[in-house]
Amino acid sequence: MSTYPGAKFVTSAAEARQLAPDSGREIAFAGRSNSGKSSAINAITERVGLARVSRTPGRTQLINFFELAPQRRLVDLPGYGFAKVPEKVRARWLELMEHYFNVRESLVGLVLIVDSRRGLGAQDAAMLEWVLARDRRAHVLLSKSDKLNRRDALSVLRETQAACSDAAVTVQLFSAHGPQGLEEARAVLEQWLAG
Ligand SMILES: Nc1nc2c(ncn2[C@@H]2O[C@H](COP(=O)(O)OP(=O)(O)OP(=O)(O)O)[C@@H](O)[C@H]2O)c(=O)[nH]1
Ligand SMILES: [Mg+2]
């Protein structure tokens, strides 16, 4: 049975005033477009199709809220880093993200999804700095680890751990398809959402 049998979609926000009520605790999932954010949410909650896995990266610029239990949420943030997006869309993304991270008191931590074949990029690092500057924790999922052999996977894990030296950041290998690292990821979320 799912760890979160009551998991459900709550609401989508395209702008600041549409955010879900800011109470309880929530964890945000961020990352490049196509890095596997929605797949990670589905795998972790064991709910196929809870978050929509996209075929057209970067098309939806929405913040999607999912409730695991009363007052406990996961948040699927719009991806960044995709090419061919008008400057206007990029500017709106930045505005919405800044607003979200500045106002959100219920935000306890960020799960940053990084495609293990690409490794940590400049925008990922900037995102980490953003949340650390706001005294939140971060956990990096090196996603799609099923696409790498064991040696390459361990090497990207070590490189990323070395790049993320802040004590508030942890890193693990993860596959939504493998599956690999599901229990490790769930344990982090459980701990963050407790209390
Ligand atoms: N092999 C493999 N493919 C994956 C994994 N996770 C996601 N994918 C694939 O990667 C693509 C993007 O996955 P999504 O979960 O939609 O990624 P996203 O980060 O939510 O993308 P956007 O919402 O567009 O920003 C899909 O084709 C997924 O099937 C994984 O662990 N392993
Ligand atoms: Mg998605």
**Cβ pair 109, 27 in contact under 8 A:** yes
102 CA distance to ligand 1 middle (Å): 27
Give pTM, 2 decimals.
Answer: 0.95
pLDDT of residue 4: 82
Best mean pLDDT range from 56-65, 87-96, 127-136: 127-136
pLDDT of residue 157: 98
Q: Which residues pair with 172 in a beta bridge?
A: 141
Please compute the mean of the pLDDT values over residues 161-182 and round it to a whole number: 94
Closest CA to 33 of 181, 159, 149, 143: 143
Q: Of the residues 33, 54, 66, 173, which should be mutated to test ligand 1's pocket, given the most ligand atoms within 8 Å of the CB?
A: 54
**Cβ pair 174, 185 in contact under 8 A:** yes
pLDDT greater than 60 at residue 39:
yes
In this prediction, residue 56 has a pLDDT band, given cuts at 50, 70 and 90, of low
Convert the pLDDT of each residue in 14-34 to its tens digit: 889 999 999 999 999 999 999
Please compute the mean of the pLDDT values over residues 85-98 and round it to a whole number: 87
Closest CA to 103 of 6, 9, 13: 13
